[in-house]
A and B are shown apart, each in its own frame.
Chain A
Amino acid sequence: MISKSRLYIPRPTARPGDEPDFSYLDLSPAGAIDKPPIDSRTRDIEKLSSGLVRVLDDDHTAKGPWDPNLEPEQLQVALRWMLLNRALDDRMWQIQRQGRISFYMQARGEEAVSIAQGMALRPGDMCFPSYRNQGLYLYRGVKLVDMMCQCLSNTRDMCKGRQLPIMYHSKEGNVFSISGNLATQVPQAVGWAMASAIKGEDHLAATWLGDGSTAEADFHYALTFAAVYQAPVILNVVNNQWAISTFQGTAGGERRAFAARGLGLGIPGIRVDGNDLLAVYAVTLWAADRARRGGGPTLIELVTYRGGAHSTSDDPTKYRPKDEWEAFPLGDPVERLKQHMISEGHWSDKKHEAMWAELQADVHAAWKEAQKHGTMTEGPWLDPATMFDDVYAETPPNLESQRRRMLEVFSGK
């Protein structure tokens, strides 16, 4: 019976032991894609969803109409934030491996997404991130020590011990709370953007999800509502090729780019080199300007590669070639920006090493500070009685009674 199956099963181009093969990835040379006016009709700019907007060329120069012409100081700021993201991830990964936090997820190889897009948005724009957007929280002002205390579920944890590590939130920074359920934030971002339009404000919403979770219904609700109401929202699909072991083809990426998902609804799609900070910044600014002027939503696909494991609970050597990242044609966003800055004459290996060392020291100091607020093995400890708070605006009698009972039991009654 099964031997007769005619069902098509998508397969990645390379498995462990195979030569990495990115021949499936459609690439465009840097500078090759036109930059249309922001009031272009979707039907006139459909090509943006199949090409690949790139600014940084292989020779590290910036090319073409999408070059945002950032000042050297701005580039240095961008590099610094990407490096901080990486330094934090490196340290927290080690800390998890030492058994000192329960779980972690790193953004290795994808740092340009959060940092470039964070820079292109305005502070009043609301971000609805996915779990690999820690760079957004950093960029929008959440301190290293607070990120770490969240991961420790200690007395300074912004989540009071209620959330798995990395599920941050920042009301002050306008970065939403990470849920853990995939893609749920995407239609919520559309609702937030609709409210912004209803109130007559010019704030946008921006939201992120992975290539894998575009299969969720929530993504399609988001596209429909965003298109129907022309909501001022930027929908970002971070196509890092892998969703745990599910390659992007199983999410439906084999025949058409994720950037094209909205075309049927009239939502323009832009496919961009997600490891090119300049291109990501420029494309995001284009979409933000369009939305702010009433042009509605834009879907951006950021083509990148998940350089590390999905999480500390994952072992990617079981399902993909070990050296796949090194073969990824779009490289490493940190290295590419660094080389560009060096080629422009504003940066050097020496300066770079000094910055990296400084940021590692910042991370080291923050970890020392974070542990003072409690670790998994040493106090101070969070008060378990607080677990009954914030279920409702006011704690109802049944929860007060359960709180009392819990305290009785653990005081030996």
Chain B
Amino acid sequence: MAQMNMIEAIRSAHDVMMDKDPSVVVLGQDVGYFGGVFRCTDGLQRKYGEHRVIDAPIAEGGIVATSIGMGVNGLRPVAEIQFADYIYPGFDQIVSELARLRYRSCGDFFSPVTIRTPCGGGIRGGQTHSQSPESIFTHVSGIKTVMPSNPYDAKGLLISAIESDDPVVFFEPKRIYNGPFDGDPEKPGVSWSSHPKGDVPEGYYTVPIGSAAVAMPGDELTVITYGTLVHVAIAAAKETGIDAEVIDVRTMAPLDVKTLADSVNKTGRCLVAHEATRFGGYGAELAATIQKECFYSLEAPIGRVAGWDTPYPHAFEWQYFPGLKRIASGMRRAMEAE
């Protein structure tokens, strides 16, 4: 077993799949010779050549569209959009084309594109390098939406995404590329080397799309979250002393309702947390699902902690970000509510 951070795990997933399947190609801005601004594709062009790891023009719509065409012609493209904040020029191609091609042609045409994109805040990125637009994609039928919270899952889920004949939008929480983050910006950074999920097999394995994970077991409160906030929620449980069960959603669409509902039916209390803005966010879907599945087990209203409904503010990042204080406060309120 190797020690890997999330960047190395993602790179390894590419490597494993490019080695296994000659139809896998990688394209995106800066992904080739340079190896990506976050280094997720470093070394791949040297190993697999510039015809399989392709530096693309700065045109997200063109990257998505040409990936679709490549997929229709038998390749299995993995496209990188450098920041999720820049995915919008490709949005029409994702929503109107990639997501619906199989449906509108009754399965005669499809394109197995994986779109990887770094998301989320906590890196002093301001409003153009911090967004979490996952709910915009979970609202679109025909695509799968994934966000891992650790190196092991990142590699296993990315391999599943690349192997999937359905299009996948794969969000990578860049705050935890190099190490888990407990939501307190004052503390020094930690690496993945001391985290059990930093143990990553070198070879092929998968984590299935459509299954959530219990990131930390507990009995008093269920915190349902994903991405960076999985680690913040675990830290907040320790800080508050609440015996919380932290559920890592891992794949927002399709959603593993059973794992979530089993937990809430056990604890009777539920807090939903995500970095993205609250109104119309994915947390609303989670809350509605839990309300339906667990209504008679709930002892208190389902709480939500999310980004405030403003653009992501550069100077007020730690008032905006659902960090340790905000999640801990939300957990306490969920415990006090009746």
A293 CB within 8 Å of chain B: no
Q: Which of A177, A192, A221, A397 contacts B62 (CB 8 A)?
A: A221
Q: Please give, as numbers and ranges, the residues of chain B lying within 8 Å of A190 by CB-CB distance.
A: 65-66, 69
From B88-96, B187-195, B300-308, the one touching the partner chain is B88-96
- Is B241 interfacial (CB-CB < 8 Å)? no
Q: Is the CB of A192 within 8 A of B106?
A: no
Which residues from chain B contact A222 at a C-beta distance below 8 Å?
A: 62, 65
A398 and chain B: residue at smallest CB distance: B254
Q: Is the CB of B106 within 8 A of A194?
A: no
Any chain A CB within 8 A of the CB of B220? no
How far apart sit A198 and B108, CA to CA, in the bound complex (Å)? 23
Q: A159-B105, A196-B73, A391-B142 are in contact. Are A225 and B62 (CB under 8 A)?
A: yes
CB-CB under 8 A from A179, the residues of chain B are 96-97, 100, 104
Chain A contacts for B101, CB-based, 8 A:
177
Which positions 131-174 of chain A face chain B at CB distance < 8 Å?
A: 158-160, 162-163, 167, 169, 171
Asked if A195 CB lies within 8 Å of chain B CBs, one says yes
Say whether B141 faces chain A, with CB atoms less than 8 Å apart.
yes
Given contacts A184-B93, A187-B93, 9 further A-B contacts (CB under 8 A): A162-B106, A171-B109, A176-B72, A179-B104, A184-B97, A190-B69, A389-B106, A391-B142, A397-B257
Q: Beta-carbon contacts of B18-58 to A below 8 Å, as 1s and 0s?
A: 00000001000000000000000000000000011010110
Check if B74 is an interface residue, CB within 8 A of chain A.
Answer: yes
Is the CB of A1 closer than 8 A to any CB of chain B?
no
Interface residue? B67 (CB, 8 A): yes
Would A158 and B106 count as touching, CB distance under 8 A?
yes
B266: interface (CB < 8 Å):
no
Instruction: Determine if A169 and B102 form an interchain contact, defined as CB atoms under 8 angstroms apart.
Output: no
| Residue from the set B59, B69, B102 with the largest chain A CB neighbour count within 10 Å | B69
Q: Please, which residues of chain A bring their CB within 8 A of the CB of B106?
A: 158-160, 162, 389-390
Q: Does B75 contact A (CB under 8 A)?
A: yes
Residue A361 at the chain B interface, CB threshold 8 Å: no
Asked if B72 and A169 sit within 8 Å, CB to CB, the answer is no
Chain B residues in 8 Å Cβ range of A191: 65-73
Q: Which residues of the other chain, A, contact B255 by a CB distance below 8 angstroms?
A: 398
A181 contacts B97, C-beta separation under 8 Å: yes
Q: Are A205 and B164 in contact (CB under 8 A)?
A: no
Residues in B whose Cβ lies below 8 Å from that of A167: 104
A42 within 8 A of B: no
Minimum Cβ distance to chain A for residue B305 (Å): 25
Q: In the complex, which residue of chain B has the Cβ closest to the Cβ of A172?
A: B108
Smallest beta-carbon distance A166→chain B, Å: 13
Do the beta carbons of B70 and A192 come within 8 Å of each other? yes
- List 13 A–B pairs whose Cβ atoms lie within 8 Å, in order of A's numbering: A162-B106, A176-B109, A181-B97, A184-B65, A188-B66, A194-B70, A195-B72, A198-B52, A217-B61, A222-B62, A225-B57, A390-B107, A396-B254
A392 — which chain B residues lie within 8 A by C-beta? 102, 142, 144, 166
Report Cα–Cα, A157/B72, bound state, in Å.
22
Interface status of A4 (Cβ within 8 A of chain B): no
A283-301 residues at the B interface, CB under 8 angstroms: none
Q: Which 9 A-B pairs have the closest CB atoms?
A: A191-B69, A221-B62, A191-B66, A187-B65, A195-B73, A192-B69, A188-B69, A171-B108, A177-B105
Least Cβ distance of B109 to chain A in Å? 5
CB-based contact B57/A218 at 8 Å: no
Q: Is the CB of B104 within 8 A of A177?
A: yes
Whether A126 contacts B73 in the complex (CB less than 8 A), given A217-B89, A390-B107, A391-B141, comes out as yes
* A169, chain B: closest CB distance, angstroms: 5
Q: Please give, as numbers and ranges, the residues of chain B lying within 8 Å of A397 by CB-CB distance.
A: 254, 257
Chain A hits for B73, CB < 8 A = 126, 191-192, 195-196, 199
Most buried by B among A171, A188, A189, A217: A188
Residue B165 interfacial (CB < 8 Å) = yes
A122 → B minimal CB distance (Å): 15
Q: Give the shortest distance, in Å, between B282 (CB) and chain A (any CB).
A: 14
The reply to whether B92 and A181 contact each other, CB–CB distance below 8 Å, is yes
Measured as residues with beta carbon below 8 angstroms from the partner, the interface class of chain A is 35 or more
A30 to chain B, nearest CB (A): 36
Contacts of A389 in B (CB 8 A): 106-107
Contact B66 A184 (CB under 8 A): no
A192 in contact with B254 (CB, 8 Å): no
Report chain B residues within 8 Å CB of A196. Answer: 73
Contacts A169-B105, A195-B75, A217-B89: A188 and B65 contacting too (C-beta < 8 A)?
Answer: yes
- Chain B residues lying within 8 Å of A176, measured Cβ to Cβ, are 72, 109
Shortest CB-to-CB span from B71 to chain A, Å, is 8
> Is A61 an interface residue, CB under 8 A from the partner?
no
Question: A393 interface residue, CB < 8 Å from B?
Answer: yes
Interface residues of A in 190-236 (CB under 8 A from B): 190-196, 198-199, 205, 217-218, 221-222, 224-225, 228-229
Does any Cβ of A come within 8 Å of B170's Cβ?
Answer: no
The answer to whether A169 touches B108 (Cβ under 8 A) is: yes
Instruction: Give bound CA distance, A176 to B108, whole Å.
Output: 9
A189 B69 Cβ-Cβ under 8 A: yes
Which of B72, B75, B164 neighbours the largest number of chain A CB atoms within 10 Å of its CB? B72
A194 and B65 form a contact (CB under 8 A): no
Task: Write the nearest CB–CB distance from B286 to chain A, whole angstroms.
Answer: 13
Annotate A120-132 by CB proximity to B: 1 below 8 A, 0 otherwise.
0000001010000
Encoded as 1 (CB less than 8 Å from any B CB) or 0, chain A from 369 to 413 comes to 000000000000000000001111100111000000000000000
Using a CB-CB cutoff of 8 Å, which residues 256-308 of chain B contact chain A? Answer: 257
Closest chain-B Cβ to A190's Cβ sits at a distance in Å of 6
Which A residue's beta carbon lies closest to that of B164? A393
How far, in Å, is B89 (CB) from chain A's closest CB?
A: 7
Q: Give complex CA distance A128, B96 in Å.
A: 16
Does B210 sit within 8 A of A, measured CB to CB? yes
Q: How far is the CA of A4 from the CA of B54 in the complex (A)?
A: 51
- Expressed in whole angstroms, the minimum distance between the Cβ of B98 and any Cβ of chain A is 10
Once the chains are docked, how many angstroms separate the CA of A204 from the CA of B61?
A: 22
A151 to chain B, nearest CB (A): 15
Q: How far is the CA of A158 from the CA of B61 in the complex (A)?
A: 29
> Which of these, A181, A199, A225, contacts B96 with CB under 8 Å?
A181
Distance A158 CA – B106 CA, assembled complex (angstroms)? 7
Q: Check if B226 is an interface residue, CB within 8 A of chain A.
A: no
Interface residues of B in 97-136 (CB under 8 A from A): 97, 100-110
Whether B65 lies near A391 (C-beta < 8 A) is no
Indicate if the CB atoms of A195 and B74 lie closer than 8 Å: yes
Bound-complex Cα distance A403 to B199 (A): 41
Q: Is the CB of A195 within 8 A of B69?
A: yes
A224 close to B62 (CB less than 8 A): yes
Interface residues of A in 81-113 (CB under 8 A from B): none
